[in-house]
Amino acid sequence: MTDRPADRPVAEMSFEDAMKELESVVDRLERGDVPLSASIDLYERGAALKKRCEEELKRAEEKIAAITLDADGNPTGTTPVEGL
Amino acid sequence: MNDLIDDPTPGQNLPEFSVSEVSGAIKRTLEDQFGRIRVKGEVGRVFKARSGHLYYDIKDDRNVLSCTTWKGQVSQLSVVPEEGLEVVVTGRLTAYGAQSKYNMNVDEVAVAGQGALMALLEKRRKTLAAEGLFDPDRKQPIPFLPEIIGVVTSPSGAVIRDILHRLRERFPRKVLIWPVAVQGANCAPEVARAIEGFNRLTPGGALPRPDLIIVARGGGSVEDLWGFNEEAVVRAAAGSRIPLISAVGHETDTTLIDHASDLRAPTPTAAAELAVPVRLELIATVDAQGARLTRAVTRGAGLQRQRMEDLSRALPRADSLLDTPRQRLDRAGDGLQVALERFVQRRRLDLSNLSGGLRPSMLTRLVAAEKRSLRQAAAGLDPALARSVRLRRERFDARAARLSPRALQREVKDGTQKLDALSARLSRAGTAQIDMLRKRLAAADRMHETLSYKATLERGYAVVRSGAEVMTTRADAAKETLLEVEFRDGRLTVAPQGDRPAKKTPPKPEPEQGSLF
Q: What is the pLDDT of residues B218-228, one digit of tens each?
A: 988 887 888 89
Which region holds residue B11: left if phi is over 0, alpha if psi is between -120 and 50, else beta? Answer: left
Do residues B27 and B9 make contact, with C-beta atoms less than 8 angstroms apart? no
Side chain identity, residue B91: G
**Full set of structural domains in chain B with CATH:** 2-112 (2.40.50.140), 138-277 (3.40.50.261), 321-450 (no CATH), 463-493 (no CATH)
More confident residue, B54 or B409: B54
A69 vs B179: CB contact, 8 Å cut-off? Answer: yes
Q: Which tens digit of pLDDT belongs to each residue from B294-330?
A: 888 888 778 878 888 888 888 877 777 888 888 888 8
CA-nearest residue of chain A to B175? A64
Helix axes of B231-239 and B187-200: crossing angle, nearest 10 degrees:
20
Q: How far is residue B193's CA from residue B199's CA, in Å, rounded to a whole number?
A: 10
Do residues B216 and B248 make contact, with C-beta atoms less than 8 angstroms apart? yes
More confident residue, B153 or B504: B153
Confidence at residue A4, expressed as pLDDT on a 0 to 100 scale: 47
Residue A37 has pLDDT above 50, yes or no: yes
B297 vs A42: CB contact, 8 Å cut-off? Answer: yes
Find the mean pLDDT for residues B192-203.
91
How far B129 CA sits from the closest chain A CA (Å)?
29
How far B175 CA sits from the closest chain A CA (Å)?
5
**CA B40 to each of CA A22, B65, B85, B91, B167: distance values in angstroms, whole numbers, following the listed order:** 66, 10, 11, 12, 46
Find the mean pLDDT for residues B40-48.
91
Mean pLDDT of chain B: 86
For an interface test with B, give the residue of A26, A31, A72, A74 to mutate (most B CBs within 10 A): A26
CA proximity to B87, closest of B72, B108, B63? B108
Residue A2 has pLDDT above 50, yes or no: no
Confidence at residue A1, expressed as pLDDT on a 0 to 100 scale: 39
Q: Which tens digit of pLDDT belongs to each residue from B208-262?
A: 899 999 999 998 888 788 889 999 999 999 999 999 999 998 878 788 999 999 9
Q: How far is residue B187's CA from residue B181's CA, in Å, rounded to a whole number?
A: 5
Q: Which tens digit of pLDDT belongs to each residue from B62-112?
A: 999 999 999 988 888 877 888 888 889 999 999 998 999 999 999 998 888
Q: What percent of chain B has pLDDT over 70?
A: 94
User: What is this structure's pTM?
Assistant: 0.53
Q: How many CA atoms lie within 13 A of B390 on its CB side?
A: 6
Q: How many residues does chain B have?
A: 517
Give the full edge-to-edge strand order of the sheet including B483-486: B469-470, B463-466, B483-486, B491-494
Find the mean pLDDT for residues B341-370.
84
- ipTM > 0.95, yes or no: no
Confidence at residue B57, expressed as pLDDT on a 0 to 100 scale: 94
Query: Between the CA atoms of B303, B308, B310 and B316, what dihedral angle is there, to the nearest 10 degrees?
Result: 170
Chain B positions touching A50 (Cβ under 8 A) are: 286, 289-290, 293
